Structure 1
Amino acid sequence: MMMGKIEAQELQWYAVRVVRKQVGGIRTVTVGGEFETYRNRQRQLRKRRINGTGDRVFLPEHILRRAGFEVFLPIEKVLRRKNRFSPEQQLVSKPKLVDWLFVGWPANQSRWHRLMELDVVTGVMGTGGRPVAIPQARIIRLMRQWGGGELSPECYRMMKSGYAAGDVVKVPDGPFADFDFTVVDVSEKSVRGLVSIFGRDTPLDIPLAKLPVSETMQAEVEAAQAKGDDVADPRLVSCGCGHQMAQVVHAADGFCVTCGNCGRRAAVGSRSEGGAIERWNAWRK
């Protein structure tokens, strides 16, 4: 059994807005696969992809990865009918954000020129005309919640890097909830460790998505927040002052949206976070 700390490359992450090719958000395309030759009605030779071959990918994510960037597109699984003629449903992947994704590259490199020359990119979230870096711990938390099993190998390594053999955490739920859990090994989707019960060590596997971000990663988030480097919600349009630092906050009278730059508040008294976002966006448009 492999033991020891899991190393991952230190990346800097930014929220990037991409071109929306169709109503409804980021579109998908099929890449790769096997092709066959056929003749059309004019007896001309043509090629077509064989049904069932190739990979269905989200186009902006595919282009950015081919350009050498690490990309994280938050995904949610939804049930949809296979077609309009059948009531049968299937689980499909859908982008959580309409036209935003997260792009990363090594912290010791500058790739802004390469990023902004791509036609698929329309902008980067920032404040005061400067891009705002997103703490890696926050990206890890989003990956665990909205990864959808479609992360790149490097993103998987980054998601696992918060834990090392010997770390002790609390079991989040189940019959051993709140017991001390000693990490032994970390795989792509779970953490293997030991729980001490009546003086005996019992092996236990916990899904990685259920564990909180490690204390080391959490310290990075708190340090970034202390410096004022917190990040706005990409679902919100920019404030009238020109800054995109509007955030949803929970006040005594309900949810509202406030701008981190000018302090303007709107959608006061909203019943839910989503309702506050809708009211803010409708008001700004």
Structure 2
Amino acid sequence: MAEETDSDTWYVLRTFSNHEKKVRRYLESEIDRLGLEDHVEEILIPTETVFEMKGGEKKTKEKTFFPGYILLNCTLTTELRDVAEDLPSVIGFLTAGTGDTPTRLREEEIKRILGKMDRAEEMGEQPEMPFKMGDPVKVVDGPFDSFNGIVEDVYPDKMKVKVMVSIFGRKTPVELDYLQVEHEE
């Protein structure tokens, strides 16, 4: 029987960057195949929803908070550790430097990570408005791409800003999605 090294706590499994979901699928299938479900409470990839403009359309995308890391809430046995570390795209468990023993996440660390995910989830489709009246901005998408202007008004409920741009020497107000503009440097 496998030796139990720790009881139901959080550990960090390091993976190749952008391979987190693939590693989670591998790990879940190996856990099922070997009957280790009782040892694993949760496999978590902390993510948030971000918005970006592509081709004039607003797209939502899931972004990982910690690329290359998966959090495991488990009873870490020797068997479970060996299974996880032998998976493709896995670097190994996070250790405390010199030792070979996986480091547990402290309770306050996991609360902070889970709290960050909860806040991102609560915000849902309402990202915070990064602009205020008077901000100099540059249009980065749409028909006014590369125009510079000043934010005249902010509409947080519609996620839009009114920008005063100069077209043929004449100041013209243009209403743009906030993803179509960025702060001028």
Question: For the superposition of Structure 1 and Structure 2, which TM-score range results when normalised by the shorter chain?
Answer: 0.3 to 0.5
Q: Which has the higher contact order (CA 8 A, sep 6+)?
A: 2
Q: Which has the higher helix share?
A: 2
Which TM-score applies when normalising by structure 1?
0.32
Which TM-score applies when normalising by structure 2?
0.46
